[in-house]
A and B are shown apart, each in its own frame.
Chain A
Amino acid sequence: MLGEGILKGLAETARNFLGSYVSKDRLTTVQFPEERLPHIEAARSFPFLVYDGEDWQQGMRCVSCLICEKECPPKCIFIEKSKDKKPDATGKPQFYPVVFNIDVSVCMSCQICVEVCPFDAIKMDVEFELSTNDRFGGLLWDKERLAKSNAYYGKIHPTEAAAVDAQLAEERAKLEAKAKLAAEAKTATVATPPAQPLRETSETTEGSGA
């Protein structure tokens, strides 16, 4: 009969309406500023730069290889490479970005920069309360605004960060082992203190890699 379905629908909405007053667990709303949902691990908003250790300037993993800048589809990344080298968190001299800007009003959160980064230096953030009064300056994030510690990364994406940390540790261990071998070979020929060659060899391997 015509209208039967409408009556069924009306009964259903009436049940919802009254039920929402009776049982609180029907209500799906989260009262946002006071209540928050735990964030989802796979969530992503905009990229940030990872640094190791305590000092963001010294520990920044980025060696300004410019791959992310070239890969970025909407071209929201701007990097100025340094002329000199500075020691990174492990004490190895590296190039570093003098300027690293991301225009988040252009960024489309595609994560391609993260995929292409060979140094695990850029990762996706989960922060989303980003409103600002200044629609030009406030949305052009510089190096300082972008830098976040590896500990923070471990906090927002635990599984992913653990994998990255393990891989980095493995690479580092491999390098150290190699350096040790090279040092042993060197000590066999020339007697030199062991600390100095370690740095030299690591530098050469890095240089051939890049």
Chain B
Amino acid sequence: MTVSFFILAALTIAGTVAAMSLRNLVHCVLALTLGFAGLAALYLQLGAQFVGFTQILVYVGAVAILAMFAIMMTQRAGAVAQPVFTPSRMPGWIAGGMIASAVFAVLAWAIHSSAALPKTLPPQALPSQADAGVRAIGNALMHRFVLPLEIMGLLLTAALIGAVLVAMQEQQEMP
């Protein structure tokens, strides 16, 4: 818990809050990107270089752009949405909050009861383990978790082929 942690945490929270509350959707995505970047910086601070850089590569580089494209193709970017915090929206806020906390609880439980996590953290383990981070992840993916990895790869390939098929069908419909 250092100063840098608090700065990064504040940055992440500010980014995500802004992503929810800003009125211009493109600004929302940009703010969300800031949140992603802050999260990546937090990973890096924990010594998880691979996860941190992958976070930047995937979320800042790809997901943000994807969200941007989705917004621009579905509606006008200049359109101003209604204010976010209104009394009429309270039920929605409560429901959203409950779902969010439920997801968070499940995740926390899963991580806490995970066998991958050592029960007692050695005090100075994190910085020195950082050197082995990439190798350890690679070993885990290729040995212990090879089946889930392959299933995910299959799933993604299926989705890719599906997307291509949908696009091809659309092209055939056009004379």
- Tell me if chains A and B make direct contact, with any CB pair below 8 A: no
- Write the residues of chain A forming the contact surface with B, with a CB cutoff of 8 angstroms: none
B residues lining the A interface (CB < 8 Å) = none
